[in-house]
Amino acid sequence: MSDAPAELVHLEVAGPVATITLDSPHNRNALSRQLVGELFDRLERAAGNDDVRVVLLRSADRVFCSGADLSEAVGGSMVEGAQRILALQRLLLTSRTAVVVRLAGPVRAGGIGIVAAADVVVASEEASFALTEVKLGLAPAVISQTVFGRMAPRAAALAALGGETFGGAEAAAWGLVTEVVAADRLDQRVDEVVASLATGAAQGLRETKALLNRPLVAALDDRGDDLAELSARLFGSEEARSAMAAFLARPQGA
């Protein structure tokens, strides 16, 4: 019997569309080392397929991503983890394919960096968002360039300083998601968007995406090392470690 851990990220390719599914329900798709590593691999495999024009990124369950894996963060340095989250955002921004995110439910903290790095985001009215870092003595450092680059500045200040939950309508108005639809129309609308993008020529998609994302990529390249160091310092602080330990000790709701 193999002792290999169960796969947390699945890849399916059908013609010009590659579907990548996050499937780590035990920690609500937290950004563990395994999940981030597998997501990297699936994105690179999709980009390496010349037939693929669009990557659809979704979750197997309602929760899209709960943010950093705090159980890993409490146990060691976050330097490498911070660098990997930066690199993941850069990969999403620079991939030659269009990246569409389907959001049916909650996304928190670091998971919002994935949302912000995608090209198109279609969210259900039932989706919810929160930049919860401030509650734990942290800051959204490694996701700041993509998230704050997408959001209206005043909205970003309210969301990041307050750490409170906001809904799909606010996320669309604030620039974080592309479109919000009724829950029973989510799949239909995602299919429509994906089908439309898939009609693009490979060169046209690649070069247009590069033009659109150039400012975000430049910002990541310019400030990435400093932001990774800041993130690691905050995660390693006594204040944050105490807050994370207390959070992990609480009974976790659905």
Helices assigned H by DSSP within the chain = 33-47, 70-75, 79-94, 110-117, 144-150, 153-162, 168-173, 186-197, 202-235, 238-249
Residue 230 lies in a domain: no
Residue 95 lies in a domain: yes
Q: For residue 36, what is the domain's CATH number?
A: 3.90.226.10
Return the minimum-mean-pLDDT range out of 72-81, 84-93, 215-224.
Answer: 72-81
Residue 36 lies in a domain: yes
Nearest to 148 by CA among 227, 69, 88, 209: 227
The residue with tokens 């159980």 is 71
pLDDT on residue 252: 60
Nearest to 190 by CA among 62, 57, 45: 57
Which residues span the domain enclosing 172? Answer: 9-186
Residue 72 lies in a domain: yes
Residue 155 lies in a domain: yes
Number of domains the chain is built from? 1
List b or e across 45-64, with b for residues whose CB sees 16 or more CB atoms inside 10 angstroms. ebbeeeebbbbbbbbeeebb
Q: Which two tokens stand for residue 66?
A: 């709960």
How confident is the model over 120-143, as pLDDT tens digits? Answer: 999 999 999 999 999 999 999 999
Asked if residues 161 and 130 have their Cβ atoms less than 8 Å apart, the reply is no
How confident is the model over 208-245, as pLDDT tens digits? Answer: 999 999 999 999 999 999 999 999 999 999 999 999 99
Taking the whole predicted model, whether its pTM rises above 0.75 is answered as yes
Residue 151 lies in a domain: yes
Residue 193 lies in a domain: no
Residue 248 lies in a domain: no
Asked if residues 97 and 54 have their Cβ atoms less than 8 Å apart, the reply is yes
Asked if residues 30 and 66 have their Cβ atoms less than 8 Å apart, the reply is yes
